[in-house]
Amino acid sequence: MLVLPLIALVLHGALAGLFYAFSMSVMPALDAVEPARAEEVMRSINRKILNPWLFLVFLGAPIAALAAGLFAGGPAAIWFFAAAGVSAVGSFLVTMVINVPMNNAVDAGTMPWKEYSPRWTLWNTVRAAASLIGLALVGVGLINL
């Protein structure tokens, strides 16, 4: 059954691309403008990004990898389970414990941009790396089907 692993692959790729784009282009662009403008734009991004497409990718990647592992069996299952675990910890947990509280602080005006941006970008890069690792793990799982 290739459908679930392929869905997991695509979702991990989309998530990795989202996080990568933020760390490599969006945050440097915001750092190049006045902090008040950067905070204003980030508040807008934080509101607009909460949509069904984000939730599909963000929640779907680890769930699809887990489901692929449950249906795959054999050596491939281990790779899919590993991808689900890396995604759950490196993307979901980091987001909920670190990035979301920081977004809430910048939204509330309680964290200045100069403090927010480097820390947020660091942890976003961790999310990108975890998503890329998850993507690779799903790929190895596909090879082992």
- Residue 1: count other Cβ atoms within 10 Å of its Cβ: 10
Rounded mean pLDDT for each run of 10 residues along the chain, 145 residues in total: 95 98 98 98 97 97 98 96 98 98 97 98 98 98 97
pLDDT recorded at residue 73: 86
pLDDT recorded at residue 71: 96
Q: pTM of the entire structure? A: 0.94
Residue 32, judged by CB atoms within 10 A of its CB (0-12, 13-18, 19+), counts as: exposed
pLDDT recorded at residue 7: 98
**Rounded Cα gap, residues 45 and 19, in angstroms:** 13
pLDDT recorded at residue 1: 77
Residue 105, judged by CB atoms within 10 A of its CB (0-12, 13-18, 19+), counts as: middle
Q: Look up the domain containing 26 and give its range.
A: 3-143
> How many domains does one find in the chain?
1
